[in-house]
Structure 1
């Protein structure tokens, strides 16, 4: 079993607090209290609250980017690529639902360099997603609906999965993947 570093413990605890209260409302004292240590002890492992936020968001955004790049470069049909993107979102959500709250809600608090890096990754991700859908429509594998509605509907659902899924005690990951792929790609009627 892999041991978690003290820095990672701090990041994990912060992700939970950021999800519960929002980045702006959480102080280093809040984080130290949640961990049962003195605030000064946090600085032995991290430089700032901003470092924690950047680590959470950039790490997750890079996971999505890496996954998307692999999917885009694969030689499979557009519909299979979309299935893999849905699975990617589910896998990342299951491994870090707390961090996804920061990715979705607190990214605008990133400092300039990291903010620009994140915004580029997000833009490129959405453009890749859009391109896959366009290619599928062009090839006749995806219905010729409004591209922006398809992008918005699918990504909005996937991006908010972190809010919904943790409350679902009876849905296994395998069922979640199967049924979300069917619902998102084939509809429910």
Structure 2
């Protein structure tokens, strides 16, 4: 039987028993996310996190048995939240172009509202991929499959031209991440999504360019 992927929470639960719930744990997660957004993973210590929360370091270990598990739980909660939002959106009956535009808007809105996590990703993604490849690959593939599903719907309904959906999904994935990490703008999430959607749907050639070029040859 194939092994199923255990979440970070499940792994931690198996290792140390029942995870305490409540406000204190969420306070630790928020404080740690703030610190990880300000400094690299390796520069943040459990002492720093305890000081930020205002508790003894031993209290942190009642909830998380290592800095690594705390870091990964922050990321897993984030990924699970945004992917659940996107999957609810794609389950609706909208035409594929509208569905894709809405998904792009939700992604940019989510990360603009969660800048600490965006800063963590932009600074420490290499660490995540190198040290936790299976973890990051799971979430990367989940997002790419979501894009592929929208593309396939569009092809089937005639709103998107036939294409290599795997390659196109990878291009969209890379484009969205580059905009998230490197595009500095005062525009709203909806406006950024509109620009990105326009680039995906229309490309960079001016209308009529190909016909004009053919006429000159």
TM-score by length of 1: 0.71
The question of 1:40 aligning with 2:40 is answered no
- Structure 2 distance, partners of 1:36, 1:56, is 16
> RMSD value over aligned CA atoms?
3.4
The question of 1:84 aligning with 2:93 is answered no
Unaligned runs of 5+ in 1: none
Greater relative contact order structure (CA < 8 Å, 6+ sep) = 1
- Structure 1 distance, partners of 2:145, 2:189, is 27
Post-superposition Cα deviations, 1:86-129, rounded to whole Å, max 9, x if no partner, equal 012112111213213545715445598xx3xx644542332121
- Structure 2 distance, partners of 1:42, 1:186, is 54
Match of 1:74 in 2: 92
Match of 1:58 in 2: 76
CA gap of 1:160–1:16, structure 2 versus 1, over 3 A, is: farther
CA gap of 1:36–1:7, structure 2 versus 1, over 3 A, is: closer
- Structure 2 distance, partners of 1:123, 1:20, is 28
Unaligned runs of 5+ in 2: 1-22, 207-217
Residues 144 and 170 in structure 2, CA contact (< 8 A), matched pair in contact too: no
1:1-150 equivalence runs, <5 A? 5=23, 7-32=25-50, 35=52, 37=54, 40=57, 43=60, 46-47=63-64, 48-102=66-120, 105=125, 106-108=127-129, 109=131, 115=135, 119-150=137-168
**TM-superposed deviation, 1:63:** 1.7
Residues 134 and 147 in structure 1, CA contact (< 8 A), matched pair in contact too: yes
